[in-house]
Chains A and B, each alone.
Chain A
Amino acid sequence: MLTMLASAFTDFFAESYKEAFGGGMSEAVQEAIDPELVDFFGLKVNPSLYSAFLGTAVILIACVVIRIFVIPKFKKQPKGLQLLLEGLVGYFDKTASPLKKQASFVGPYIATAAIFICLTTLAELLGIRPAFASINTCLAFGLSTFFVINYCGLREKGLFGRAKRYLGNPINIITDLAVPLSLSFRLFGAIMSGFIIVELVYSVIYLSFVVPAVVSVITTIFHALIQSFLFATLSAIFIGEAVE
């Protein structure tokens, strides 16, 4: 019954949009949700994988350049790029600091995740498909955090300590299994919805002036910053719960 209602609503919405703005909507949404798969060493993959590789390459090159040319010139009183880098590292280090022994590993982990999410989402402004507009990327990140949570929990509490958490309260099994799904779907939903909205706006010719300047800022920049911050913070919180 509910499925039928939802289907009827979607059809009605699509028909109305088609009548109002022309026939671009369904193609644009279809392209955003289910893009044409590309070839990767004989494997058909989502183009988001290439976006992810590109993002990684850009970040690593930037890291090498910063390591060689910027860090050796660091001064006692930071300003400019040094201030930004120190601010980032200081923030993530502070976020990971309650994790004691695990902080040296978790700090770089959440910092990398945040930088990667932010940059690959902002790449949408250059017309590149966001890496997180694919459920595979989001699941990869959710699962990574799941592994890190359990790795840190086992390292800090041992197998028995970790098992005690589930034996004492079996609901914790569901809670912990929900973490990667919750992280993944939140990320996917936010980034994908923003991407679809921008694609919709661009698909209609008379909405392609001025409107994207506003919509891109709201959907892309805000999402990039908010989702990277959320993912990093939530990962730190979940890992903190595991080692507590």
Chain B
Amino acid sequence: MTAADMPLGLNVIEILLHIFNFIVLIVGVRFLLYKPIKKFMEKRAQGYAEEEADHVKKKEEAEKLRAEAENKIREAEAKALKIEDDANANAMKEADAIIENARKDAKELIARTEADMAAKEVRERAALSREVTSLALTMSSKILEREVNAEDNEAVIAPLIEQFRAVHGSQSKADDGVSVKKKN
């Protein structure tokens, strides 16, 4: 049966030629068009994927750095707080020490002043005693209207002085008792 005799013009050789033609076309399209375009698209997709991965990595690093920075800030704040507390404590200690020293100095000053005052009082008492003695002598000379010698003077004055001392001594002792009480 020839090709013309076959129904609808069926022809096996023609079919094989079409298949051969199709195979050539598939190979050509695959290697000239399909593969290069697909390769380009895959490369681009890979590039995007890499960029995305890089972006994620950088974001993670940034997050990590931020966390570290926040930690450092927190630590610095805690340190600053501790330094402030320490400084306050030290200042309080120093203030206490200064106050203590001042109290001590004041006490010493008071003690010294009281000692000075006591010495001055003793000196003044001695001077007063001498003055009283001199005054008594002058008065008694006037009364007696005569010159007395040293022995007479001593004989007359000595009992007076003793009497005065006795009277004045008891009074000063009483004064000393009052001042000691005041000190305490």
Whole-angstrom distance between the Cβ of A191 and the nearest chain B Cβ: 13
Q: CB-CB < 8 A to B33: which residues of A?
A: 63, 66-67, 85, 89
Which B16-37 residues sit within 8 Å CB-CB of chain A? Answer: 16-19, 21-22, 24-26, 28-30, 32-37
| 0 or 1 for each of A43-86: is its CB under 8 Å from B? (1 = yes) | 11110010011001001100110110001001010000000011
In the bound complex, CA of A116 to CA of B28 (Å): 12
Q: Is the interface of B mostly helix, strand, loop or mixed?
A: helix
Q: Is B13's CB within 8 Å of the partner chain A? A: yes
Count of chain B residues with Cβ under 8 Å from any Cβ of A? Answer: 32
* A43 close to B13 (CB less than 8 A): yes
Given A45-B11, A89-B38: A140 and B25 interface contact (C-beta under 8 Å): no
In the bound complex, CA of A113 to CA of B40 (Å): 22
Nearest residue, chain B, Cβ from A68? B32
Q: Is B9's CB within 8 Å of the partner chain A? A: yes
* B9 close to A63 (CB less than 8 A): no
Q: Is B69's CB within 8 Å of the partner chain A? A: no
Q: Is B44's CB within 8 Å of the partner chain A? A: yes
* A141 close to B18 (CB less than 8 A): yes
Q: Is A90's CB within 8 Å of the partner chain B? A: yes
* A143 close to B34 (CB less than 8 A): no
In the bound complex, CA of A107 to CA of B34 (Å): 8
* A116 close to B22 (CB less than 8 A): yes
User: Which of these, A60, A63, A64, A136, contacts B18 with CB under 8 Å?
Assistant: A136
Whole-angstrom distance between the Cβ of B177 and the nearest chain A Cβ: 112
Which A94-138 residues sit within 8 Å CB-CB of chain B? Answer: 107-109, 111-113, 115-116, 134-137
Known pairs A56-B21, A59-B25, A144-B19; list 5 more (Cβ under 8 Å).
A63-B32, A108-B29, A116-B25, A135-B8, A140-B19
- Can you identify 21 A-B contacts, CB atoms within 8 angstroms? A33-B8, A37-B9, A43-B13, A44-B3, A44-B4, A49-B18, A52-B18, A53-B21, A59-B25, A66-B32, A67-B36, A71-B37, A89-B33, A89-B37, A108-B26, A112-B25, A135-B10, A136-B10, A136-B11, A139-B15, A140-B22
